[in-house]
A and B are shown apart, each in its own frame.
Chain A
Amino acid sequence: MLKLILNRLAHSVVVMLAVALIAFSMVAFLGDPISNMVGQDTTVAERAALRENLGLNDPLPVQFVRFLSHAVQGDFGLSYSLRVPVSELFAERMPATLELSIISAIFALLIGIPLGIHTAINRDSFTTQAILSSSLVGVSLPTFLIGILLILIFGVMLRWLPTFGRGDVVMIGGWSTGLLTSSGLRSLVLPVATLTIFQLTLIIRLVRAEMMEVLRTDFIKFARARGIRRKALNYRHALKNTMMPVITVVGLQLGNIIAFSLITESVFQWPGMGLLFVQAIGNADIPVMVAYLMIIALIFVLINLIVDLLHFVLDPRLHSSGAN
Chain B
Amino acid sequence: MYLSTATKALLACVAMAAPAAAENFKFSYQGDISTLDPHSLNEVFTLGMMNNVYEGLALYDGEMKLQPGLAVGWETTSPTTWRVKLREGVTFHEGGTFDADDVIFSWQRGLTEGSDQKGRAGLIKAIEKLGPYEIKIETHDPYPILMQEMTSFFIMDKEWSEENGATEASSIKDSSNVGYAGQHTNGTGPFRITARQPGVSTTFDRFDGYWNDDIATNVTHAEFVPIQEPATRVSALISGEMDLIFPVPVQDWSRLESAEGIAPLSGPEIRTMYFGMDQSRDELLFSSVKGKNPMKDVRVRAAFAHAINVQAIADKVMRGAATPAGIIIAPQVTGFDETLNTPFVYDPELSKKLLAEAGYPDGFSITLDCPNDRYVNDEKICVAAASMLSKVGIDVDVVAETKSRYFGRLFAQGGYETSFYFLGWTPASVDAHNSFFNILTCRNTETGAGAYNIGGYCNARVAEITDIIASEVDPDKRQALISEALKLSRDDVAYIPLFQQPLSWGVSDRVTVTQRSDDVLDLRSVVVGN
A residues contacting B by CB (< 8 A) are: 30-51, 53-55, 77-85, 89, 92, 148, 151-152, 155-156, 159, 162-165, 266-269, 271, 275-276, 278-279, 281-284
Q: How far is the CA of A47 from the CA of B410 in the complex (A)?
A: 14
Interface size range of chain B in the complex:
35 or more
When the two chains form their complex, are residues A282 and B373 in contact, meaning their CB atoms are under 8 A apart? yes
* Interchain CA distance A87-B239 in the complex, whole Å: 34
- The 10 closest A-B CB pairs, nearest first, are A32-B408, A39-B42, A35-B407, A53-B173, A39-B43, A82-B198, A31-B404, A44-B412, A43-B448, A271-B200
A159 — which chain B residues lie within 8 A by C-beta? 239-240
The answer to whether B448 and A38 have CB atoms under 8 Å apart is no
A209 to B409, CA, bound (A): 52
Compute how far the CA of A152 lies from the CA of B259 in the bound complex, rounded to whole angstroms.
13
The yes or no answer to B225 lying at the interface (CB within 8 A) is: yes
Known: A49-B173, A163-B235. A42 touches B408 (CB 8 A): no
**Cross-chain contact A152 with B235 (CB below 8 angstroms):** yes
The distance from the CB of B168 to the nearest CB of chain A, in whole angstroms, is 14
Assess the B199–A271 pair: CB atoms within 8 A.
Answer: yes
Let me know if A279 and B199 touch, CB within 8 A.
Answer: yes
Contact A164 B413 (CB under 8 A): no
Cα(A32)–Cα(B404), bound, Å? 6
Report if B77 contacts A (CB, 8 A). Answer: no
Contacts of B402 in A (CB 8 A): 31, 281-282
B4 within 8 A of A: no
Q: List 13 extra interface pairs beyond A83-B182, A156-B235, CB under 8 A.
A: A32-B405, A35-B404, A35-B413, A39-B41, A43-B119, A44-B413, A53-B171, A54-B173, A83-B172, A148-B231, A155-B235, A275-B199, A278-B228
Give Cα A255 to B332, complex, Å. 54
Bound complex: CA of A15 vs CA of B408, how far in Å? 33
Which of A38, A45, A164 is B116 in contact with, Cβ under 8 Å?
Answer: A38
Closest to B241 in A: A162
Note all chain A residues with C-beta closer than 8 A to B428: 41
Residues of A within 8 A of B41 (CB): 37-39
Distance of A165 Cα from B177 Cα, bound (Å): 29
Contacts of A49 in B (CB 8 A): 173
Judging by beta carbons under 8 Å apart, are B198 and A89 in contact? yes
Partner of B404, one of A46, A92, A284: A284
A residues less than 8 Å from B225 (CB atoms): 164-165, 269
Partner of B403, one of A36, A41, A148, A267: A36
List 13 A-B pairs, Cβ < 8 Å: A35-B407, A37-B34, A38-B172, A44-B451, A45-B445, A54-B173, A54-B175, A89-B199, A151-B232, A151-B235, A162-B239, A163-B241, A266-B229
Of residues 421 through 438 on chain B, the ones whose CB sits less than 8 Å from some CB of chain A are: 428, 438
Cα distance, A163 to B172, chains bound together (Å): 34
* B residues neighboring A (CB under 8 Å): 32, 34-35, 40-44, 116, 118-119, 170-178, 182-183, 197-200, 225, 227-229, 231-232, 235-236, 238-241, 373, 402-405, 407-409, 411-414, 428, 438, 445, 448, 451-452
Q: Which residue from chain B places its CB closest to the CB of A167 in the assembled complex?
A: B241
Which of A55, A83, A159, A267 has the most C-beta atoms of chain B within 10 angstroms of its own C-beta?
Answer: A83
Q: In the complex, what residue of chain A is closest to B240 when comparing beta carbons?
A: A159
Q: Are A46 and B118 interface neighbours, CB within 8 A?
A: yes
**Selected contact of B232 from candidates A36, A84, A89, A163, CB within 8 Å:** A163
Check A38–B42 contact: CB distance below 8 A.
yes
Chain B residue nearest to A281 (CB atoms) is B402
- CB neighbours (8 Å) of A85 from chain B are 178
CB distance from A130 to the nearest CB of B (A): 31
* B238→A282 contact, CB < 8 A: no
Give, as a whole number of angstroms, the nearest-CB distance from A178 to chain B.
13
Q: B198, B235, B238, B239: which contacts A83 (Cβ < 8 A)? A: B198
Candidates B176, B241, B409; contact of A78 at CB < 8 Å: B176
| Residue from A44, A269, A275, A276 in contact with B448 in the complex, judged by beta carbons closer than 8 Å | A44
B401 to chain A, nearest CB (A): 9
Determine the distance from Cα of A283 to Cα of B414 in the docked complex, in whole angstroms: 16
Whole-angstrom distance from the CB of B105 to the nearest CB of chain A?
Answer: 22
Q: Which residues of B contact A40 (CB under 8 A)?
A: 42-43, 438, 452
B241 and A37 within 8 A (CB): no
- Chain A residues lying within 8 Å of B182, measured Cβ to Cβ, are 83
Q: Are B240 and A31 in contact (CB under 8 A)?
A: no
